[in-house]
Structure formats: C-alpha cells, structure tokens
Structure 1
Amino acid sequence: MAMESLGEMLKQLPNGNNAVQQAEKLMSGLLADPLVDRLRAKYPELDDATIKLNLNRVYQYTKEYRNCTNCPGLDRCPNDYEGHYTLLSCETVNGIVQMSDRKKSCKKLLTRQSEDLIRSRVRSFYVDERALSQGYSADEIVSKDMERMKAVGQVLNYISKTQEHGLQREGLYLAGSFGTGKTFLMCYMLHELAKAGYTGAIVYMPDFVEDLKSLMHEQGKLKEMVDLMKETDLLIFDDVGAENLNPWVRDHVLGAILNYRMNRKPTFYTSNYGLDALEKHFSFTNKDGDELHKGQRLMDRIRPYVETVFVTGHNKRGTS
C-alpha cells in the first residue's frame, strides 16, 4: 500500500480558513519534528524557507523513517517502494540551498535479495525443496546425536577448505543407514558454499533415473540437464544405489557426467551402500563379465575422487 503524500493529506482538509489553519499547524509540526532538527544539525545551512519549499520531501522522509522504526515486515512495508526509505541531503549551489532525496534499500530487503541470490545458485532435481531450506543446524545435528560428530566435522572441514582455498578436486561420499542426516548435511554444504558464490545441484537418484528413461527421445531436454550437471561447481547424487539402473543410464549419462567432472569439479554422493557394495550395484550381475567391467569403470570415476564420510547415528526421520 503506497504511503499517503503530504499533498493528499492537505486535499482531505476542509475548505475555508479552518483548512488554512490546519495546514499551517501541520507544517509547523513538521518544522518542529525532532527528525527535522537532526537534519538541520547535519546540514546547518538548511533554513525554514528551504524546508517549506521541500515540505513534501521532508514529510515523506519523516513518515518513512517512522514506518521503518516500527517495521511491520517487508511483505507489509507501508513505504512508497517496498523495502526502500527516503534519504535527504542538501548542497549549496550559487548561494542557494538545494535539497535532494534518494531511495535507499533497507536491511530486510538486502537480506532477502542476498537469500534469493543464494537460492538461485542451487538447483534441485526431484529433491524436496524444503530439504534445502529447513532442518537442523550443523550444531543441532551434533548435539542431537553425538555419534555423528565425526561426520559433521568432516563436512564442516570440507566447507572451510573450499571457502579458504577454492573449489576442490575431490568430493565426499556420505555412507550410512536410512535417516541419519546425509541429505541434510549435503544441503547444508550447498547452502554454505552458495554464500561463497559457488553453484550447486542436488539430484535424487531414484526419480532422476526413472525420468531419464522417458527423456531418451527428448535429446534437447536431456542435453540441457546433463550439461548443467557437468558444469555446476558442486554436484550431489543423493541416495545413489537406490535407483533402478540400466546400462544406458550408467554408461551414457552417469558415465559422461563423471568423465567430464573428474579432475575438474567435485562430485558428492549420499548412499546406504559403501563403495564396494555400490560397485556391485553398478555391475548388475557377476555372470556377465562385460557388465562387471563397466561397473568397475564407473567406480574408477568415483572412488579416487571422494573422501568417504561414515554417517552413523539414530534414524532422525519423523522426529525433526
């Protein structure tokens, strides 16, 4: 809702002498406003005549200042421009005092813009968006289950290392049973490193693989998705090993993404499997030597490029 201007207020006053008196009272009150006193202290050259010439500016300044002092929240901002307030300044040009105004973004708007920018750096595929914005803090994960302290420490160390030294070549492989917070830890890492300017994507593997099968004949959409996963700074495959994999997805999609990223950008994984069990999953069956070889080949693009993090502890699902 736009702020009422001084002119609009004056229009609402009754006609005749009473209106003049009320208008003069309004202007006298404005001249005596403590905020105007502060303005005069900052700009000693500011006289009554200049204030009267700029009454609308001064009124808007005092009104918006008090709106901000009693801020009802960004979504209910009563100022003319949401998340902005008026600043006044004076300068003397050829002996004449001139007043000018400008809009300044408030802290709440700047915080929202910063959060929006951080969120824009992170993409999720088939992962509940709430996982990226809700959950425990890293401290809470440790305090709620001390068994996880080592895993949390490894992730926090990884975040610090990247913040200090730049994008790492190695990623992390979070192995642990269902519901121990692996996905949250990775979302926490994405959010913290997005603050440092890094882009990231998290992909829920079971749904991703099913969707890929339907995209086999939509090459444009498939290429766009694969290219994003190749190029993003931080890529997380969530719940890897739970997907119903087929040779085409394994060799031509996952293989292509990992082949591109190795030695370039770090890739991360969460899984209920350890690395050896994941290799068996990728090999499908030991009866077929070729499949075994291709499973090993994919693991050659994972195993050397990750630090394993064992996430132990109690199942936290449904108790957060």
Structure 2
Amino acid sequence: MGGRGEYTVKQIGEVVKPWLSRRNVQAQKDFEVILKHPALQAFIREHPEIPRSFYKRSVNALKQWLLEKENCQKCPGLKACPNMIQGHFTKLTDQLGYLEFRMQPCRKLKVYQENLQAQSLIRSYHIPKEILESSFETIDFDVGRVDAIAVAIDFCNQFAMGKPKKGLFLHGSFGVGKSRIAGAIMNEIIQYKKSSYMVYFPDFMRDISESIQENSLHEKIDHLKRVDVLILDDIGAEYVTPWKRDEILGGVLNYRYAERLPTIYTSNMSLDQLEEHLAHSAKGSVDWLKAKRIMERIRHFVIPLSVNGPNRRAL
C-alpha cells in the first residue's frame, strides 16, 4: 500500500473536493445569470408548477435552450441554421426532476418540406419551366381565354368534393396560352394533394422506341395511367403509327376511363380534326374505326374549350 501512483480514498477526496466546490460555485453563478434572462423569466411565469430546483439541476439544458432561442431570433435562413439540428428549435419539458429539451421542426423547415412534397406531386416530360411555374394568379384573363380559364378553375375546385367527372380539351391556334392554363391547373390542384403528370406528347411518342430498348416502357406508361391528372400537351402534333396509337395511347386512355381519372389535352386541332389525324398513320394507311375507338375515350369525357387570342410567343 502507499506505492507511487496509488491514492487512498482520503487523498482522492482531498483532491476532488476543492474542484467540486469550484464547479458548484461556477454552476451557481451560471444559474443566477441564466435565471435573469427575459426568455427564461417568461417561461417561469408560464409554468408556475415547475419547482425552482428543476431549473437549478438543468443549467446545461437551459444554456442550450437559450442559445438556440437567440439563434432563432437572428435566423440566418434554413441552410445556415446554427442550431444543434438544422431547422429545429428546442422546447423545454420537465422530466423526473430535470428540465430537458425536445427538438421541434421550425416553420421554415415545415415550409421547405411542404414545398418538397408539392414538387413531388408534379411530374413532367419535356415541359418548359415557365409552363410548370404557371399559375392562375399570373395568367392574363383576356377576352379570348377568360371562359376557358373559368372552366379550368372550376375543374380544380371540384377536387375539394371528390374529383371532376370530365377532363378538359383545350384547343386553339399556336401561342394562345393553352399549355399555360394546363400548367396552372397542375399547381392549383396541389392544395388538394393531387398528383399530375404533364407530357409533351410528340416527344413522348417519339421516345417510345428508345424506352423499349431501355426496358423502361412499362414504367413510363404506368405513370401516365395512374396519375390523378394526366395532361397530354400538344396532342395531334405527333407522328402516328398504328401500334403507338392503339397500344400506347389507347391503352392509357382505356385504363383512365375505367378508373374515372380525368385527362387534360391541349391541341392545335379541334376534336374532329384530331380524329382525322389519328386515322392517318405516318406510313399513309387510314383506319377510321381505330381512330373512332380512341376518340370515344376522349370526346365523351372532356369539356371542349376554345382558347383564342394573339400568338403570345410572337409578342
């Protein structure tokens, strides 16, 4: 006993006791400073049921709580958040004689997450950014398209009570704003948690062959079939082959008809002109019967809307 490097319990106590005393004095000083903080005083007034001893035992937790509260008051933005967990603030709770903090997501994080969720509801295929960002707040309600816009808004409002019984067929000449109205619909129905898929139809049909080689055709077609609102943009501008018309377009529309899922179309053609277009294949063959079958899934399940006005792309 008593060899070099060995300490008795009494010797250890003589070393540790002054250190503990200094620590307790410092903790008391820290506590007195923290106790005067306006935020903590406000918390104490809101929670008179919490004993003073709880606060005294929880100095470190209180320091962290106050630090993060001050960070939030000088918030530098979600990306630069200096708190322990980005986008969160601490909430004090009493637990077994101590005050502990629980992490809570802040308003900015919630908004960010809501925006991510909203973005996930919108899918697109070769659609310009300005169309995807379109809204009814930014569209001009001019005479040539005010009626079409009104019906489009009513289409969106029907999701509050279920879903529309019919889709829309927006037709008119180049550049009158058909696609912008369709884009505004996509962004409007987000509030009803409805998904949408806007497809530039000529590019989609042209890329079908490539999808077969990549073994991704089934997945792409499945998206078109099942989405809450499908938007086929510029239908009638694509090259038609019998297989693409009957198996791809026909298959999608048959499924959506059976499931009563609304489809929106934009086109430079009227319904009658579209039927004629679908009857003629790229190789010169004509099949009116097959075209009429496709049109049966379009004509009777849309509200035709004429969109007029100047070519805004040329302005």
TM (norm. structure 1) is: 0.82
Partner of residue 251, structure 1:
246
User: Letter of the aligned partner of 1:102 in structure 2?
Assistant: R
Is the contact between residue 169 and residue 263 of structure 1 (CA under 8 Å) also seen in structure 2? Answer: no
Is residue 261 from structure 1 mapped to residue 256 from structure 2 by the alignment? yes
Equivalent positions of 1:39-54 (< 5 A) are: 39-46=43-50, 48-54=52-58
User: CA offset at residue 233 of structure 1?
Assistant: 1.4
User: CA offset at residue 292 of structure 1?
Assistant: 2.3
Match of residue 221, structure 2, among 220, 223, 226: 226
User: CA offset at residue 203 of structure 1?
Assistant: 0.8
Distance 1:57 1:131, change over 3 A: farther
User: Letter of the aligned partner of 1:52 in structure 2?
Assistant: K
Paired with 1:66 and 1:187, the residues of 2 have a C-alpha distance of 42
Partner of residue 86, structure 1:
90
Equivalent positions of 1:108-127 (< 5 A) are: 108-127=108-127
Is the contact between residue 141 and residue 148 of structure 1 (CA under 8 Å) also seen in structure 2? Answer: no
Paired with 1:83 and 1:316, the residues of 2 have a C-alpha distance of 42
Is the contact between residue 43 and residue 90 of structure 1 (CA under 8 Å) also seen in structure 2? Answer: no
Is the contact between residue 167 and residue 233 of structure 1 (CA under 8 Å) also seen in structure 2? Answer: no
Equivalent positions of 1:167-316 (< 5 A) are: 167-218=163-214, 220-264=215-259, 265-284=261-280, 290-316=286-312
The number of residue pairs the alignment matches comes to 292
Partner of residue 105, structure 1:
105
Is the contact between residue 84 and residue 106 of structure 1 (CA under 8 Å) also seen in structure 2? Answer: yes
1:11-68, Cα deviation, whole Å (9 max, x unpaired): xxxxxxxx99998765543221000101111222445543232122112212212222
Paired with 1:61 and 1:315, the residues of 2 have a C-alpha distance of 59
Q: Secondary structure at the match of 1:226?
A: helix
User: Letter of the aligned partner of 2:217 in structure 1?
Assistant: L
Is the contact between residue 54 and residue 98 of structure 2 (CA under 8 Å) also seen in structure 1? Answer: yes
Match of residue 148, structure 1, among 145, 150, 169: 145
Paired with 1:316 and 1:175, the residues of 2 have a C-alpha distance of 15
1:163-196, Cα deviation, whole Å (9 max, x unpaired): 22x1223100111222222222222212222321
Could you say which structure has the larger radius of gyration?
2
Q: Secondary structure at the match of 1:82?
A: coil
Paired with 2:94 and 2:25, the residues of 1 have a C-alpha distance of 29
Paired with 1:221 and 1:308, the residues of 2 have a C-alpha distance of 33
Distance 1:226 1:130, change over 3 A: same
User: CA RMSD of the aligned region, Å?
Assistant: 2.7
Paired with 2:285 and 2:88, the residues of 1 have a C-alpha distance of 67
Q: Which sections of structure 2, spanning at least 5 residues, go unmatched?
A: 1-22
Distance 1:100 1:21, change over 3 A: closer
Paired with 1:47 and 1:216, the residues of 2 have a C-alpha distance of 71
1:47-95, Cα deviation, whole Å (9 max, x unpaired): 554323212211221221222222221112121111110000226x5xx
Is the contact between residue 55 and residue 98 of structure 2 (CA under 8 Å) also seen in structure 1? Answer: no
User: Letter of the aligned partner of 1:128 in structure 2?
Assistant: P
Which stretch has the larger CA shift, 25-34 or 171-180? 25-34
Paired with 2:26 and 2:140, the residues of 1 have a C-alpha distance of 64
Distance 1:290 1:181, change over 3 A: closer
Distance 1:82 1:241, change over 3 A: same
Paired with 2:192 and 2:244, the residues of 1 have a C-alpha distance of 33
Distance 1:256 1:109, change over 3 A: same
Is the contact between residue 241 and residue 272 of structure 1 (CA under 8 Å) also seen in structure 2? Answer: yes
User: Letter of the aligned partner of 2:105 in structure 1?
Assistant: S
Paired with 1:318 and 1:63, the residues of 2 have a C-alpha distance of 57
Paired with 2:270 and 2:38, the residues of 1 have a C-alpha distance of 68
Q: Secondary structure at the match of 2:79?
A: helix
User: CA offset at residue 208 of structure 1?
Assistant: 0.3
User: CA offset at residue 202 of structure 1?
Assistant: 1.0
User: CA offset at residue 217 of structure 1?
Assistant: 4.1
User: Letter of the aligned partner of 1:269 in structure 2?
Assistant: Y
